[in-house]
Amino acid sequence: MDFKKAQNYWKEKEATSVKMDISVLQEKITEYINANNTCALATGADGFIRNTPIEYSYHDGCFWMFSEGGEKFVGLEKNPNVCIAIFDKYTGSGSLKGLQVMGTATIVEPFSEDYNTHAAVKKIPLAALQKLNPPMNLIKIHPVSADFLNSGFKKDGFASRQHYVF
C-alpha cells in the first residue's frame, strides 16, 4: 500500500481543480451548516479515538454543543484538535454532499457569558440549567478549515470538493 500516494490524492487533484470564489464557498458552507443540526464529532488522544453523533448550533463563527458528558471528553481533556462531519445520506452517484470541519475545541465555563448566550440561542432557560447537578457541559469549536464535498458543484463548473480556511 502506498499510503503517501493515498494521503496526497486530494491535494494533487486540488492543484488543478476549478475553485469557487471564496465568498461564494463561504456562503454555501454556512448555508449547509445552518441547514443541519447534527454532526459526528471526532476526538482523540494517546491512542484513544471517539466519534460521537451530537447536536450542534452554529453562531458567532463557532460550533456549540451542550453535552451531559461521555467518552468524547477523554480526547478533549488532552487534545483540543477535533473534526466535525456533517453529511447527507448517500442515495447514488451524483448525490454526495458532506462537510468535514477541522477545528479546536474549548470547554466553556458553566454560566459564563458565552454559556448563558448559547443557552439563550437554544432557548433553554438558565433556571433549568442551574437545576442540573452537575451542570451541562458546553463545547465550543472554533473552525480552522473545511472540506466541502458536493456533487452539485459540478453542474456549475466547479470541482466537487472545495477547501476553505476560516
Give residue-wise pLDDT tens across range 51-99. 999 999 999 999 999 999 999 999 999 999 999 999 999 888 788 899 9
Extended strands (E) in 26-152: 38-45, 48-55, 57-59, 62-67, 81-87, 97-108, 137-150
User: pTM, whole model, 2 decimals?
Assistant: 0.92
> What number of residues does the chain have?
166
Cell numbers at 74, concatenated: 477523554
Give the pLDDT confidence score for residue 133 in this predicted structure. Answer: 92
Give the pLDDT confidence score for residue 165 in this predicted structure. Answer: 96
Burial of 114 (0-12, 13-18, 19+ CB in 10 A): middle
